[in-house]
Amino acid sequence: MGGEKSTVKTLRFALGLLMAAIIALSGGATAQAESLPTYKIRIVPGSNLTLVASEGRIPIVIENGYDESIRVQVHIRPSNLRLNAPTATEVTVPGNTTYTAKVDVRAVADGEVDLVAWLTTFSGLRLGPSVKVHMTINAEVEGTLMTGFAIVVALLLATGVIRTVRKRRQVGATV
């Protein structure tokens, strides 16, 4: 019995997507566009992001209001060339949950960049509105922190060696 309900819901969702695709491809009128189904899967707007490495994975939070798991593609388009992002990342969002998709990105330069993120089906149909996310890229921080850490370790090592040599000289002088 429960399997029949989930199959019916899945079929209704697929039918809604098919109707939306037909209307979108046929250049349907505004009145038809207003009658499109509202999707229960969407990207949740988030806070500003900061990338402190040359490569990383940025979180895109997706909310699925359907009872079934849905496979979607997450798209990200940066506003400038400071960031490279893949064309799409495939994720499966479990039913009635909020899921965090991790999208691989590569920093090209430091600075500010706005990302536009949206969801599509595998046929290219958009699911819901696009979401804008602001990101600050500080890729050079990684190198600076590593250099600073290496200097601190070298100073601690040098201090240890100097103390050990002094102790041995003092012990050798007293004997």
Is pLDDT of 33 > 70?
A: no
Grade residue 145 by pLDDT with cuts at 50, 70 and 90: confident
From the list 71, 174, 157, 168, the residue with the least C-alpha distance to 121 is 71
In sequence order, the 6+-apart residues with CB closer than 8 A to the CB of 66 are 9, 13, 40, 41, 95, 96
Are 67 and 40 a contacting pair, CB within 8 Å? no
Are 133 and 49 a contacting pair, CB within 8 Å? yes
pLDDT digits (tens, 9 = 90+) for 45-56: 988 999 988 899
DSSP label of 126: B
> Residue 61: its pLDDT value, please?
95
